[in-house]
Amino acid sequence: MSSVDLNWLVGGKSYTIPCSLFCNRYQVSTSTLANTRANVFTLISSKCALKVSKFLNTPFEKLSRPIPIYGYNSLIGKPITTILQPNL
């Protein structure tokens, strides 16, 4: 992945679907934004990622090089420097 373009998230109707994360008989209910075409697998807030990391006991991984973020307004945002790859 060379960059993330969030420009696709602007305009139109959003389509969210409920989802649940399970681990060792524990459940976390949340919702997800479907089909954003933002060129990523899943985007979650840093706060949520930290909770998921702790809940699933999955460490963050530091990227070898940052991935630039282009916001909904085409401005460059803070780059992604770490990722979380839990097995869901």
Q: What is the pLDDT of residue 61?
A: 93
Residue 67 φ/ψ, nearest 5 degrees: -105, 120
Q: Has residue 16 got a pLDDT over 70?
A: yes
For residues 17-31, give the mean pLDDT.
79
Q: Tell me if the pTM is above 0.75.
A: no
Q: Which residues of 24-55 are buried (b: 16+ CB within 10 A; e: fewer)?
A: eeeeeeeeeeeeeebeeeebeeeeebeebeee
For residues 60-74, give the mean pLDDT.
84
The tens digit of pLDDT for each residue in 38-52 reads 555 666 778 888 888
Q: What is the pLDDT of residue 79?
A: 86
**What gap in Å lies between CA 20 and CA 81, rounded to an integer?**
26
In the chain, what percentage of residues exceed pLDDT 90?
9
**What gap in Å lies between CA 26 and CA 50, rounded to an integer?**
17
Per-residue pLDDT band for 11 (boundaries 50, 70, 90) equals low
Take residue 22 and report the two structure tokens written for it.
């399970």
